[in-house]
Amino acid sequence: MARLLLLPVCLGDTDPASVLPADYLSRMRHLRAFFVEDLRSARRFLRKIGYTRPFEEVLFVELNEHVRAGSLEEVLLAQGVDEKELSGQDMGVLSEAGLPCVADPGALAVDWAQRKGVKVVPFSGPSSLFLALMASGLNGQSFCFNGYLPASPKEREAAIREIEAVSRRKNQTQLFIETPYRSQAMFESLVSVCHASTRLCVASNITLPDESILTRTVAQWRGNPASIQKKNTVFLLLA
């Protein structure tokens, strides 16, 4: 019976063997069909783990922000892939970084597999969200992931105020992410808008050599600002 394997990827330019289980890497090297977010980076990662099959013999289906279809069947049709090509063989879902299907478009493939009766097999690997939560010292019993906040400064600040209010009311850790080139702007909005006593964790480049995971009050951050421009960052706050 065919299976859909959910395959974590390194969070940055690190040795896959240092963060990913050997058994999982071995299984990945034998797959011949992948759902990927970006074709070039997926191929680069596969070569890095010792994948030797010629890519001309491998089926890749791209699932990314440009995919507007409502189902995987529509994606396959748009990319000229016959659904029968997927039957009878194990397939993999490769995230761009971290865990598939968490803040990641791979969920479309899992929805298809669940509807078709294809067994879904998740593998363990690095998750920037949960590694940040673990290391933050904030409430790990009750938390909410908010994805990306609005890019517009005015809308972003309104969203921060709302999230902080929810955190205070529920005693709930609020997590969110931002694209690396807007990480510094997000930090500056947070320290400008949030109450001085709110605890804010800034977790950047997790698992990389320059990893930094620091939790301080907003008042403390104002006195010693973070420098995180162009760094992959998870933000966590607890009011």
What digits encode the pLDDT tens for the residues 22-72?
888 888 899 999 999 889 999 999 999 999 999 999 999 988 776 665 677
Mapped onto helix, strand or coil, the DSSP state of residue 218 is: helix
In the chain, CATH 3.30.950.10 sits at: 128-238
Residues 81-97: what's their mean pLDDT?
84
Which of 44-48, 79-83, 125-129, 198-202 has the lowest average pLDDT? 79-83
pLDDT range class, residue 18, cuts 50, 70, 90? confident
Q: pLDDT band for position 101 (50/70/90)?
A: confident
Which of the four pLDDT bands, split at 50, 70 and 90, describes residue 212? very high
Domain with CATH 3.40.1010.10 in the chain: 3-122
pLDDT at residue 203, rounded to an integer:
98
Q: Residue 108: helix, strand or coil by DSSP? A: helix
From the CB of residue 130, how many other CB atoms can be counted at a distance below 10 Å?
18
Note the pLDDT of residue 67: 65
CATH T-level assignment (fold) for domain 3-122? Cobalt-precorrin-4 Transmethylase; domain 1 (3.40.1010)
Residue 138 to residues 98, 114, 162, 174: CA-CA distances in angstroms? 21, 34, 19, 9
Fold of 128-238: 3.30.950
Residue 1 has pLDDT above 90, yes or no: no
Supply the Cα-derived Rg of the chain in whole angstroms.
Answer: 20
Q: What pLDDT score does 48 carry?
A: 92
- What is the band of 97 on the pLDDT scale with cuts at 50, 70, 90? confident
Q: What percentage of the chain has pLDDT greater than the value 90? A: 68
Average pLDDT across the chain, whole number = 91
- Asked if 184 and 227 touch (Cβ cutoff 8 Å), the reply is yes
| Least confidently predicted of 4-13, 23-32, 69-78, 130-139 | 69-78
